[in-house]
Amino acid sequence: MDLKDIKAIIDLMRKNAVSEFEMEKEGFKIRLKREPVLRPGTAGEELAVVPAAAGVPAGVPVAGVVPAAGVAAPAVPAGASGVATAPAGPPEVEIKSPMIGTFYRAPSPEAAPYVEVGTEVHPETVVCIIEAMKVMNEIKAEVRGVITAVLVENARPVEFGQPLFKVRPL
């Protein structure tokens, strides 16, 4: 891992309000931590490299992203600012974010969203894009059903495991 990669991680942490990042891979471990900030650009937005845990040399690369504990996305009321819901029915499943990044409902700003409330999806149906480190990752439904709710506003940051859509299985 080089300095360019570390700077990209720091940029993602700032954009997505992540307060801690830890990665470990092949004897390399890095841990980044910053104090929580009320608003971006306010005093106290400090980012520091924290020494690695005992037994692992500092500066060792990492394999995965560990989401910050206690960081939650702001709640958005149903139907507000492009977030839509459908009537309740049988038990629903959630399509969750497989990564930290920025959620996009459409392939481009001018294009229609991949899915809307009421859209029937199959396991291979692309439901959104999550941008992470300037890479656009297509997210598939991985379930057969009908979209009953869109839980995230377009162009908002999302956390690993955060619910994006609700689906009524078919």
pLDDT at 158 over 80: yes
Percent of all residues in the chain with a pLDDT value above 70, rounded to a whole number? 66
Closest CA relative to residue 67, chosen from 104, 101, 41, 37: 101
pLDDT band at 67 (very low <50, low <70, confident <90, very high): very low
Closest CA to 167 of 105, 125, 113: 125
Q: Dump pLDDT digits (tens) for 83-103.
A: 555 555 568 999 999 999 999
Instruction: Name, of 17-26, 30-39, 60-69, 135-144, the range with top average pLDDT.
Output: 135-144
Tell how far CA 84 is from the center of its chain.
19
Greater model confidence, 20 or 164:
164
Q: pLDDT band at residue 39, thresholds of 50, 70 and 90?
A: very low
Of all residues in the chain, the percent with pLDDT exceeding 90 is: 45
CA distances 41 to 17, 36, 38, 46, 71, Å, are 12, 12, 9, 10, 18
Domain boundaries, the chain: 1-70, 93-169
State which fold the 93-169 domain adopts.
OB fold (Dihydrolipoamide Acetyltransferase, E2P) (2.40.50)
Record the pTM.
0.50
Which is higher by pLDDT, 5 or 158?
158
pLDDT digits (tens, 9 = 90+) for 111-144: 999 999 999 999 999 999 999 999 999 999 999 9
